[in-house]
């Protein structure tokens, strides 16, 4: 079954919201797809008709199994394209999101299969997020953010939650990227800030807000 670009964007956003906020509201979804709540309601009815979501008016909604599969398929495409853009075309990891947002809607199955192969079947995108395989299976990595990870242990940055350009700017300033190795020296209770040590760099302190968005393999 084929879906419109709008439908795909809604589905994908519901998936993401479900992961982080587990209760998905019309208002949250509206913000995610950059539209108004009224438009969301309209779309929810369509998605329900197509059996992509479970939805009763005035109640929060969830993806059906079918909806979940569709979401994973779009996310797979999005992340494979991001990987392509960074690894083959030399884009920086903070430049690829908007382009992948378009590319993810190209419909050819065969294209994605071949792209996946061309890229040597990567498991993680440039932001450290897992790329679902063609069956929607995701390679799960146990990870903890800097507010939860253990002290004095070698950590490897594995993904960044908030991928806004503001966040990515700050990361660049700290010389932090996917794969960066660091140790946590100390956590400060007063403001939740965290002192970290990266290889040859002087110690640095990151805010709690930032720490919560930086995930590491443990």
Instruction: Compare residues 111 and 151 and give the one whose CB is closer to its own copies.
Output: 111
Q: Which residue, 128, 209, 145, is CA-closest to 182?
A: 145
91 makes contact, choosing from Mn ion, its own copies, DNA, none, with CB < 5 to 8 Å by partner type, with its own copies
Binding residues for its own copies, rule: CB under 8 A, are 85, 88-91, 95, 98-99, 102-103, 106-108, 110-111, 114-115, 117-118
Question: Structure tokens of 201?
Answer: 């760099």
With vertex at residue 79, the alpha carbon angle to CA 184 and CA 60, rounded to the nearest 5 degrees, is: 85
Distant-in-sequence, close-in-space partners of 176: CB < 8 Å, separation ≥ 6: 157, 182, 198, 214
- Residue 99 Cβ vs its own copies, minimum distance, rounded to whole Å: 5
The CB-of-71 to Mn ion minimum distance in angstroms stands at 12
Q: In sequence order, what are the beta bridge partners of 144? A: 216
Q: Which of 5, 154 has the CB closer to DNA?
A: 5
Tally of CB atoms within 10 A around 154: 10
Residue 117 CB, nearest approach to its own copies (Å): 8
Site residues (vs DNA, CB under 7 A): 4-7, 25-27, 33-46, 55, 57-60
């Amino acid at each position: 079954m084929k879906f419109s670009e709008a439908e795909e964007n809604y589905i994908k956003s519901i998936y993401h919201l479900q992961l982080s906020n587990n209760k998905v509201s019309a208002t949250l979804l509206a913000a995610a797809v950059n539209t108004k709540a009224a438009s969301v309601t309209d779309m929810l009815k369509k998605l329900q008709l197509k059996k992509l979501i479970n939805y009763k008016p005035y109640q929060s909604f969830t993806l059906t199994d079918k909806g979940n599969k569709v979401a994973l398929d779009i996310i797979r495409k999005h992340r494979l394209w991001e990987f392509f853009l960074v690894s083959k075309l030399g884009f920086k990891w903070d430049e690829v999101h908007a382009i992948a947002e378009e590319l993810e809607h190209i419909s050819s199955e065969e294209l994605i299969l071949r792209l996946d192969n061309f890229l040597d079947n990567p498991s993680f995108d440039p932001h450290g997020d897992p790329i679902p395989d063609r069956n929607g299976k995701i390679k799960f990595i146990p990870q903890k953010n800097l507010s939860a990870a253990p002290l004095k242990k070698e950590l490897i940055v594995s993904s960044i939650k908030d991928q806004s350009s503001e966040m990515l700017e700050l990361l660049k300033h700290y010389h932090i990227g996917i794969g960066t190795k660091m140790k946590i020296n100390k956590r400060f209770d007063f403001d939740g800030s965290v002192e970290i040590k990266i290889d040859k760099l002087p110690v640095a302190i990151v805010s709690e807000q930032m720490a919560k968005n930086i995930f590491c393999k443990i």
